Amino acid sequence: MLVDRYSPRANALGFLRLCLALAVLAGHSWPLGAGRATPGLGLSRGQADVGALAVDGFFVLSGFLVTASAARLGAVRFAWHRCLRIFPGLWACLLLTAAFAGFFTTFHEAFSFAWNNALGQPHRWGIGTLFSDTPYGRLTGGGSVVNGSLWSLSFELCWYGVFTALTACGVIRRSPRLILLLTAGAYTVLLSDFLHQLRQTARTVPQPRGAFGPIPFFGALDTQTLVYLGFLFLLGASAQLYRHRIPANGILALTAVVVLLTTLRFGAFHVLGYPAFAYLLLWLACSLPPWTHRIGRTHDYSYGIYIYAFPAQQTLATLGVHHWGPPAYIAVSALVTTALAAASWHLVERPVLTFKHWTPPFVPASLTSRHETADRAGSVDAHTSARV
């Protein structure tokens, strides 16, 4: 069973998250460096590409780890941990981007960009005409896009909000079956979309459903994306809560690989490939060799790579690095972005995580974690999930 294979003290989740972050960077290298579609989009009949598949994986692993945190912490403490993990790093990235961009546009425009995106929902994609002459700028008709990767943060934050509410209601600890019901409900939407497409056309890509909201502080979110990414998040959450009932063996993992590749090539990826991909990731987290367990445990650069890669790659394209060819462009992008991510982790992200035990004086003790003593003592599970 998964519970027997998975150990909070020895797993490859950090390694997988780092690989997924670098996969997003590599996938973006074609549109950002060459003005072409990301590899895999044609082979998958438009269902997914390298970057989209990596984002899907992030939501599975995030749901798995965050649910462990929600099961251990009170709602207020859980929300506080989520805010510490997302916002300080994001704000530092936005301010650094604005300070850099201000020298090429105006500081008013640049810091307006930072202000409008500070809550994790991108309300403004560009800064003047910055990056409009890059391959991606020409691909989008001369528009300025500074950090296109931020689009997924609003959806992740939305699901954090949902799990904060579920934690406050005691669902995670006392009624985990409700998470299964939510997962089944989201899957019903995916299955309904798939069957509708089979009846109407030969297309395998879900059609837009409109917007959900407005949500306070966020505005409106694309309903289709919210449900589809939410299903992946809920798959990870369900696996965490029911890991004692999920078999974990190589035959099922091999089957998951076959299902994933088959659905990517021929269709039904969202209804069959999603669960297969989620299972494969969690099996790998438990089965990869021990040397992978050390990666990301004390220095977690994955979030920094994710939020810094796009502006770094746009800057390198402006400098002409993309003319060196895709392999060189990817390699230089990875080096520059990893350096920025390392600085973000050591100077911003890790220092602010030292405040995860801080409690405002007006918050009743009953609303914080009832396992506060164990959490302060430094449980490995708490440390891991706090870095998600």
Q: Report the alpha-carbon distance of residue 24 to residue 30 in Å, rounded.
A: 11
Q: Report the alpha-carbon distance of residue 91 to residue 307 in Å, rounded.
A: 10
pLDDT tens by residue, 33-83: 988 888 778 888 889 899 999 999 999 999 999 999 999 988 989 999 999
Q: Report the alpha-carbon distance of residue 203 to residue 189 in Å, rounded.
A: 17
Number of domains in the chain: 1
Q: Report the alpha-carbon distance of residue 277 to residue 255 in Å, rounded.
A: 10
Residue 181's nearest CA partner among 195, 166, 194 is 166
Range of the domain at 168: 2-386
Q: How high is the pLDDT of residue 35?
A: 86
* Phi, psi (deg, nearest 5) at residue 211: -110, 150
Burial 313-343 (b: 16+ CB within 10 A, else e): bbbbbbeebbeeeeeebbebbbebbbebbeb
* Count helices and strands in the chain by DSSP H and E runs: 17, 2
Q: How high is the pLDDT of residue 368?
A: 52
**End-to-end C-alpha distance for the chain, whole angstroms:** 24
Six token digits for residue 114 = 């930072």
Tell me if residue 104 falls in helix, strand or coil.
coil
Point out which residues pair with 7 in neighbouring strands: 10
Output the tens digit of pLDDT for each of the chain's 388 residues.
888 888 888 899 999 999 999 999 999 999 999 888 887 788 888 898 999 999 999 999 999 999 999 999 889 899 999 999 999 999 999 999 999 999 988 999 999 999 999 998 888 899 988 999 999 998 888 788 999 999 999 999 999 999 999 999 999 999 999 999 999 999 999 999 999 888 775 555 566 566 666 777 667 788 899 999 999 999 999 999 999 999 999 999 999 999 999 999 998 999 999 999 999 999 999 999 999 999 988 899 999 999 999 999 999 999 999 999 999 999 999 999 999 999 999 999 999 999 988 876 666 655 554 545 445 444 444 444 444 5
Q: Tell me the residue type at 238.
A: S
Q: Are 367 and 75 in contact (CB under 8 A)?
A: yes
Sign of CA dihedral 337, 222, 167, 232: negative
Q: How high is the pLDDT of residue 334?
A: 97
Q: How high is the pLDDT of residue 123?
A: 82
Point out which residues pair with 215 in neighbouring strands: 219
Q: Are 180 and 231 in contact (CB under 8 A)?
A: no
Residue with tokens 């780890």: 65
Point out which residues pair with 211 in neighbouring strands: 222
Point out which residues pair with 10 in neighbouring strands: 7
